Chain A
Amino acid sequence: DAKTTQPPSMDCAEGRAANLPCNHSTISGNEYVYWYRQIHSQGPQYIIHGLKNNETNEMASLIITEDRKSSTLILPHATLRDTAVYYCIVRVEYNFNKFYFGSGTKLNVKP
């Protein structure tokens, strides 16, 4: 599975958009990009995933560059409850059960 690189921490003002970058320059054609988050003292929570196209759901948007070497998770209106560690993961389709979680980005949403 491809490795991912994320900044260790980011700050965001409440009500503003939070844009969390992820680099996955060695991603291969059959690898999906997943985002999970982990709020303090809880288990990780699925947010969104994509292969090539941009994706949006009720929680967030995922923008994947055309060359697929990087992606950005966008929380359109961050709230204090979005303070968490955000993990960007790539996964090969055939290795469906193995998720490699790195160290993630600690997002601090400030009032």
Chain B
Amino acid sequence: DVKVTQSSRYLVKRTGEKVFLECVQDMDHENMFWYRQDPGLGLRLIYFSYDVKMKEKGDIPEGYSVSREKKERFSLILESASTNQTSMYLCASRGQGIYEQYFGPGTRLTVT
């Protein structure tokens, strides 16, 4: 079974802090994604990566950056956390030529 793990299930940070969310997949997938999920808005794509050191902006990249130094790991960085970044963050991965995305359990981030 594909396993996508995220470093924390719950996280509380203060406004202005730098926040790192880590995602690891164990299936050698080329593609990895970061989404945020908010009530009434569904899932929105923040960034994705199709290879090591490669990244592309999704629909809402402002205020976020990403890092992919190793194939199995994809990090989401909030350079200076703000209260409007309080959300559920979901990581996903997908193998080349495979249709479905596999999601991690999510990290619920609260910025106070």
Which residues of A does B touch, CB under 8 Å? Answer: 32, 34, 41-46, 49, 87, 97-104
CB contacts (< 8 Å) of B99 on chain A: these are 32, 34, 46, 49
Considering only CB atoms, which chain A residue lies closest to B106 in the complex?
A43
**A-B contact list, 13 entries, CB within 8 Å:** A41-B105, A42-B103, A43-B91, A44-B101, A44-B103, A46-B102, A87-B43, A97-B56, A99-B45, A100-B45, A101-B43, A102-B42, A104-B42
Return B97 CB to nearest CB of chain A, in Å.
10
The number of residues on chain B lying at the interface, defined by a beta carbon within 8 Å of a beta carbon of chain A, is 27
Q: Roughly how many angstroms separate A42 CA and B43 CA in the complex, as a whole number? A: 13
> Quick check: is B74 within 8 A (CB to CB) of the other chain?
no
**Most-contacted residue by chain B among A32, A41, A43 (CB, 10 A):** A43
Residues of chain A contacted by B94 (CB below 8 angstroms):
97
Contact B105 A103 (CB under 8 A): no
Contact bitstring B96-112, A, C-beta under 8 A = 1, else 0: 00011111111000000
Residues of A near B91 (CB, < 8 A) are 43
* Per-position 1/0 for B36-58, Cβ under 8 A of A: 01001111110010100000101
